[in-house]
Amino acid sequence: MTKFARLISWIGHPLVFVLASVAVVVGTQLGPRSGLPILFALLLSTLVPTAILLLSGVRSGRWSDADVSVRKERQRFFPWAVPFSLAGVVAVRWMRAPNYIIRGALVTLALFLISWIVNCRLKLSLHALFGF
């Protein structure tokens, strides 16, 4: 049962969910010539650095799991996650991506900022927040 729960958690993990969502939007709305560079830029600027941060954080013991489930541990996550998200916004603007992709990147950045502020008092589920 624990393996099944972990599988479900990873499927709903914000990192996986955002990657899948962006890939679906790019794949259905843009052709490969314009869509793949945008997807690649987001992977390099935001998703890969965040994945490395999460995995290294778990391995080093900074976080108990890749979900950064413990509220106090998140205070060490957000100072990295917000700049990575900002890098994604800069990347898509620099590439002159369609406005709906730029807006999506801005919403993601705003969600991270709001989560960081709210996390000082409450523990928000990033899984639920990004799934919303």
Give residue 102's pLDDT. Answer: 93
Give residue 126's pLDDT. Answer: 65
- The whole-number mean pLDDT for each consecutive block of 10 residues of the chain, a chain of 132 residues, reads 71 72 84 88 89 90 81 85 93 93 90 86 65 57
Question: What element of type H or E holds 102?
Answer: helix 99-118
Pairwise CA distance, residues 33 & 31, whole Å? 5
| The model's pTM | 0.79
Give residue 37's pLDDT. Answer: 92
Give residue 130's pLDDT. Answer: 61
